[in-house]
């Protein structure tokens, strides 16, 4: 009798994240981040003018970076290719359209925004991050990935969040 093995091994990890495959939660977050590119508008006048549409990941989340790179290999934002940038310190941060902030970097949101000084959709993953300047914050509810959005923070960052996105989110200020 051949015993089946899981499709991939499941290594030790910090809560909510896995160090290696498979990480379905990372894919779900990547799906959300990709969708944000469709439901958020960056101001034309002050938008980041780069050939690619940049999604940054600040902190350690290799599975999310991997999923985003998979997405970037086949998808585009309008005519722009995606570029995924992973950095681990404020000093290394580069301007991006979206930056996902890993939980352990939540306290750096203000410093990050100050350094980059362009309209960035800051997406965090820690309770209380909206109060630290994030526009969208992920949280889990009933085994599902959910998000809270702060229209006030979005406005401060010159971002326009669609009513459809607000409709599927918990709206906070």
Partner 1 sequence: MIRLLTILIFILCSLSTYAQNGNLLSKSYNSYKAGELSEAKILIDSAAQSDQYKSQILTWYLKGFIYKDLFKKEPSDAARSEAVTSFAKLLEIDSTQKYEAESKQNLKYLASTYYNEAMQSLATNPQKSDSLFQSFEAAMNLTNDSTFDLKGSRMKYLLARGTTYVQKYRSDTTEVAREEAIASFQKVLALDSLNKKANYNLGVIYYNQAVNLILNADYDEIDILALSEFEDKSIELFEQSLPYMKAAYQVDPQDVNILEGLAGIYFGLKEFETSNKYKEELKALSE
Q: How far is CA 102 from the centre of its chain?
A: 9
Phi, psi dihedrals of residue 145, rounded to the nearest 5°: -75, 125
Q: Considering the rule CB under 8 A, would residue 22 count as an interface residue with partner 1? A: yes
* Piece in contact with partner 1 (CB under 8 A), picked from 26-34, 51-59, 87-95, 106-114: 26-34
Task: Report, in Å, the least distance between residue 10 CB and partner 1.
Answer: 4
Instruction: Indicate which single residue of 43, 75, 107, 173 sits in contact with partner 1 (rule: CB under 8 A).
Output: 75
When asked if residue 88 is in the footprint of partner 1 (CB under 8 A), the reply is no
For residue 125, the SS3 value is coil
Q: Which residues does 25 contact at the CB level (< 8 Å), separation at least 6?
A: 16, 17, 18, 145
* 73 lines the binding site for partner 1 (CB under 8 A): no
Would you give the DSSP letter of residue 88?
A: -
Q: Peptide bond preceding 80: is omega within 30 degrees of 0, i.e. cis?
A: no
Q: Could you give the CA distance from residue 153 to residue 82 in angstroms, rounded to a whole number?
A: 25
Q: Which position among 50, 52, 69, 145 is part of the footprint of partner 1 (CB under 8 A)?
A: 145
Binding site for partner 1 (CB under 8 A): 1-7, 9-10, 12-13, 15-16, 18, 22, 24-25, 27-28, 30-32, 34-36, 38-39, 71, 74-75, 140, 143-145, 164-165, 167-168
């Amino acid at each position: 009798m051949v015993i089946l093995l899981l499709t991939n091994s499941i290594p030790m990890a910090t809560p909510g994240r896995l160090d290696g495959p498979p990480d379905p939660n990372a894919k779900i977050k990547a799906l959300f981040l990709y969708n944000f590119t469709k439901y958020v508008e960056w101001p034309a006048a002050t938008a980041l003018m780069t050939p690619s549409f940049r999604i940054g990941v600040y902190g350690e989340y290799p599975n999310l970076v991997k999923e985003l790179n998979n997405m970037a290999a086949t998808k585009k934002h309008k005519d722009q290719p995606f570029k995924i940038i992973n950095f681990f310190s404020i000093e290394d941060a580069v301007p991006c359209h979206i930056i996902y902030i890993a939980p352990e970097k939540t306290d750096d949101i203000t410093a990050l925004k100050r350094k980059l000084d362009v309209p960035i959709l800051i997406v965090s993953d820690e309770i209380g991050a909206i109060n630290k300047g994030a526009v969208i914050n992920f949280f889990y509810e009933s085994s599902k990935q959910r998000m809270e959005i702060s229209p006030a923070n979005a406005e401060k960052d010159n971002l326009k969040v669609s009513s459809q996105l607000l409709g599927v989110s918990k709206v906070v200020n």
